[in-house]
Amino acid sequence: MTLRPKGSRKRFGASSGSSDSNGFEMVLVSTFPPRQCGLATFSEDLIAGMEAHLDGSPIKVAAISNATYSYPERVKWEIAQEIRESYIDVANLINSSQADLVLVQHEFGIFGGRNGEYVLDFMEALRPPIVTTFHSVLLEPDDHRYAIVRRIGELSSALVVMAQKGRETLVTKYGIPQWKVHVIHHGVPDLDGFLPSASVSRLTTSLAQPGDHRMVLKLEKPLSTKSRVAEAREGLAVVAGASLPATVLPAKAAPLAVGEVDRLYGPKARTDVNLRPVLSQIKDESRSVEQIKRDLGYEGKQLLTTFGLLSPSKGIEYVLRALPSIVERHPEVVYLILGETHPVVKKLCGESYRRKLKKWVKEMGIDEHVSFVDRYLSKEDLLTYLRITDIYITPYPNPEQISSGTLAYAVGMGKAVVSTPYIYAQELLDKGRGILVEFRSPDSIAQAVNQLLDDPSLKARLEANAREYGREMTWTKVGGRYLDVIGGVLGIEIPGTPKRVLEVYGATTAKEKLAGRAKTK
């Protein structure tokens, strides 16, 4: 069975070779969990967001691998990152499958060859139309990177970026047609749907074995999207999808991570009850922030947080240098540095950067005000730490950075944010959704943090503005916008998603315009 929009009965595919006249096949190309990489997590969440709008078999994945991984069932092909022939081999396998479209997640560092040039071999060998997401767009590229981006633009039927400035750059700097480039935000978890009523004491992601009706009960009437978690009756919690029947789970059952669900019952079991990866975040929401802080050892503290794979590109040292001025005024402040060292940095330099940071902490005498959490954090852990965060900080020194999943998550959870003015931050924190500070300026960071801690009403306004904006960035909505672009490429309409792309391209000319994508060997 191939993918089809929920509730559809007519042909939505673009390939005459599809085995199912009611659907279309899609392949996503990216790194993928369990590989520990921000792009892998993004891809997993994006798939969940798109599949929330679709029935049928899961979206397939061609994973970029730099080692041996135990992938989930949806990963049908592996591309050996540094072996050029592997890209062409997998492209040919996709060509001989029933794929109607290939969705490529692009970052220079995940593909082999000079500046990731092997991706061009892959794309040139593909026959299905391609949609490419650029996670980086360089404002001042060298000649080689410029040529790679130009060629990807030629080979792609549509491009997606996460900031308006990225779209402008692709059009003006790289000469890519404006109609081909779309702006879609980085997604965030749909947290509003998972807040329990006050009388529900505990929620879990437990899953009973399919068919065991003593533990799983299908309700006849599905719940609305805004009521994904609601009280069923005393002692029970309800987990429901956007349009699938609800599932009742015992509130006191032992919690299972999504990975455990897959291992015990297979990925399809999770699909059967609409337990998307985002549901792994469900925790005991009845606990207050202060209770969680106490449990983690931060009772009575004001927490500043930065998370992500640690590397010099994060600019952590500028926050550390700002801390003496902050704790002098607010001695209750602790700065949490969350995440293990980036694997590429660790391979090249070991833990030298982390050691350097810890040395500075000791020299400045701020040991009691800094906490390193040196491990790869699950989404559930990140969301827990974000929940107890008082101010989120992205001190990144690169002004050209055009996306940030950590910043998107912080805004999505309604956090007060202090950030340097890289491209993505300028757009995401506009209109009172955060405070921008100077690059590489500890004094500017200290001033902004102290301002927020001194003025709770200002902090509350930033949080409210961020929370409101974040509601439009949920993975389900982002997935719908991707399907909007895909529908434009295939010349189809997908019920339940926006129709802006077909309006821009013209439904009658979409195939004509896009099917003959440029491909010169």
Which of 249-258, 263-272, 347-356, 452-461 shows the highest mean pLDDT? 452-461
Residues 6+ apart with CB under 8 A from 292: 384, 387, 388
Looking at residue 190, its pLDDT comes to 79
Mean pLDDT of 412-439: 97
148: three-class secondary structure by DSSP: helix
Which tops the pLDDT comparison, 435 or 234?
435
Which tops the pLDDT comparison, 494 or 397?
397
Q: Place 380 in a pLDDT band, splitting at 50, 70 and 90.
A: confident
The alpha-carbon radius of gyration of the chain (Å, integer) is: 23
Query: Which secondary structure element, helix H or strand E, spans residue 373, and what is its range?
Result: strand 370-373
Check pLDDT > 50 for residue 363. Answer: yes
Measured CA to CA, the distance from residue 241 to residue 167 in angstroms comes to: 33
DSSP for 162-181, please give it. SSHHHHHHHHHTT---GGGE
Looking at residue 57, its pLDDT comes to 64
Q: Place 497 in a pLDDT band, splitting at 50, 70 and 90.
A: low
Question: Which pTM value belongs to this model?
Answer: 0.76
Check pLDDT > 50 for residue 339. Answer: yes
Mean pLDDT of 246-252: 38
Check pLDDT > 90 for residue 70. Answer: yes
Domain 4-187+474-514 has CATH 3.40.50.2000: yes
Which tops the pLDDT comparison, 68 or 376?
68
Task: Among 146-150, 259-263, 300-304, 355-359, name the one with the lowest average pLDDT.
Answer: 259-263
Check pLDDT > 90 for residue 427. Answer: yes
Check pLDDT > 60 for residue 98. Answer: yes
Check pLDDT > 80 for residue 362. Answer: yes
Check pLDDT > 70 for residue 452. Answer: yes
Q: Place 495 in a pLDDT band, splitting at 50, 70 and 90.
A: low
Looking at residue 129, its pLDDT comes to 98
User: What is the arrangement of strands in the sheet containing 26-30, beginning at the earlier edge strand?
Assistant: 75-80, 60-65, 26-30, 101-106, 130-134, 158-161, 181-183
CA contacts within 13 A on the Cβ side of 313: 12
Looking at residue 492, its pLDDT comes to 85
Looking at residue 270, its pLDDT comes to 36
- CATH 3.40.50.2000 segments of the chain: 4-187+474-514, 289-472
Measured CA to CA, the distance from residue 77 to residue 334 in angstroms comes to: 44
Model pLDDT for residues 135-186, shown as the tens digit of each residue: 999 999 999 999 999 999 999 999 999 999 999 999 999 999 999 999 999 9
Check pLDDT > 60 for residue 247. Answer: no
Measured CA to CA, the distance from residue 79 to residue 96 in angstroms comes to: 16
Model pLDDT for residues 251-272, shown as the tens digit of each residue: 333 334 444 444 444 444 333 3
Measured CA to CA, the distance from residue 169 to residue 133 in angstroms comes to: 14
CA contacts within 13 A on the Cβ side of 179: 13
CA angle in degrees (0–180, nearest 5) for 390-325-426: 55
Percent of the chain with pLDDT over 90: 65
Measured CA to CA, the distance from residue 486 to residue 49 in angstroms comes to: 14
Looking at residue 17, its pLDDT comes to 38
Describe the crossing of helices 379-387 and 289-296 by its angle, rounded to 10 degrees: 110
CATH of domain 289-472: 3.40.50.2000
Check pLDDT > 80 for residue 384. Answer: yes
Model pLDDT for residues 7-66, shown as the tens digit of each residue: 432 223 333 333 333 368 999 999 999 998 899 999 999 999 999 998 776 799 999 999
Retrieve residue 4's tokens. Answer: 């089809």
Measured CA to CA, the distance from residue 499 to residue 47 in angstroms comes to: 20
Task: Among 343-347, 382-386, 516-520, name the one with the lowest average pLDDT.
Answer: 516-520
Which tops the pLDDT comparison, 472 or 209?
472
Looking at residue 279, its pLDDT comes to 31
